[in-house]
Amino acid sequence: MSAGYEKFLQEILIDEQTLQARVKELGQQISADYADCDDLLLICILKGGVVFLADLTRYMTVPHEIDFLAVSSYGKGARESRGHVRIDMDLTEEITGRHVLIVEDIIDSGHTLRFVLDVLQARDPASLRLVTLMDKPVRRTVDIPIDYVGFEIENKFVFGYGLDLDEKFRNLPFVGVVNLESLPEDV
Ligand code: IMP
Ligand code: MG
């Protein structure tokens, strides 16, 4: 039986093996960089970061905690970030004085991460860094300091491996390019 995503898939951009190899590398690199840190907290940005977080945390070899922050751009169904971001669900942990690493799925305009960085920085962590699975640098309108990048990608709308297409298909093990002609105009 078809899983239903096929008609929306133009091409596979990053296959499962390539994703896993790169996430493993990131896990090893981050573990080396935080080898002397005994108070590391990974903050996953929901919902898109959850699949990346689940793999990254299992490739890491330094002790760490995880927490979740859900944010959204105002409105629904838009492919473009409108620059207005809000917290839908806040952290359960205090981060003051702690070493924080934000785990994000993709950085596009940068509005979402600018908001998240400002909110978290105001809580006075000991350090605040960012790992993103994907980066679309040509789309950036707000400058974001990124510490770790999995893949730089072109200006294409992608889904799978945590990223949704109208809230579905986050479970795909690969990142695919959306066939825009397959979508209704408001998605
Ligand atoms: P930004 O605020 O424009 O940087 O957008 C960041 C957020 O938009 C990400 O956290 C994603 O949830 C979403 N996003 C950006 N590009 C894509 C994409 O190609 N596919 C799915 N979601 C995306
Ligand atoms: Mg999204």
Nearest CA to ligand 1 atom 13: 106
For the chain, the domains span 5-72+82-182
Position 82 scores a pLDDT of 62
CATH of domain 5-72+82-182: 3.40.50.2020
Position 80 scores a pLDDT of 61
Q: How far is the CA of 32 from the centre of ligand 2 (A)?
A: 30
- Of the candidates 108, 124, 164, 166, the residue annotated as catalytic is 108
pTM of the model: 0.94
Q: Please report, in tens digits, the pLDDT of each residue of the chain (187 residues total).
A: 457 999 999 999 999 999 999 999 999 999 999 999 999 999 999 999 999 999 999 999 999 999 999 999 875 455 565 668 999 999 999 999 999 999 999 999 999 999 999 999 999 999 999 999 999 999 999 999 999 999 999 999 999 999 999 999 999 999 999 998 888 776 6
Burial of 72 (0-12, 13-18, 19+ CB in 10 A): middle
81 lines ligand 1 (CB under 6 A): yes
Q: Residue 89 — φ and ψ, nearest 5°?
A: -150, 125
Given a contact cutoff of 8 angstroms between Cβ atoms, the answer to whether 142 and 110 are in contact is yes
Given a contact cutoff of 8 angstroms between Cβ atoms, the answer to whether 95 and 41 are in contact is yes
Position 183 scores a pLDDT of 82
Q: How far is the CA of 35 from the centre of ligand 1 (A)?
A: 31
157 lines ligand 1 (CB under 6 A): yes
Residue with tokens 């790992």: 131
135 lines ligand 1 (CB under 6 A): no
Helix axes of 16-33 and 50-59: crossing angle, nearest 10 degrees = 60
Q: What span, in angstroms and rounded, lies between the C-alpha atoms of 23 and 32? A: 14
Q: How far is the CA of 37 from the centre of ligand 1 (A)?
A: 30
108 noted as active-site residue? yes
Given a contact cutoff of 8 angstroms between Cβ atoms, the answer to whether 140 and 113 are in contact is no
Q: How far is the CA of 43 from the centre of ligand 1 (A)?
A: 17
Position 81 scores a pLDDT of 59
64 lines ligand 1 (CB under 6 A): no
Instruction: DSSP for the chain, please give it.
Output: ---S-GGGEEEEEE-HHHHHHHHHHHHHHHHHHTTT-S-EEEEEEETTTHHHHHHHHHH--S-EEEEEEEEEESSSS-SS--S-EEEEE--SS--TTSEEEEEEEEESSSHHHHHHHHHHHTT--SEEEEEEEEE-GGG-SS----SEEEEE--S--EEBTTB-BTTB-TT-SSEEEE-GGGS-TT-
Ligand 1 nearest-atom number relative to CA 163: 21
158 lines ligand 1 (CB under 6 A): yes
Position 37 scores a pLDDT of 95
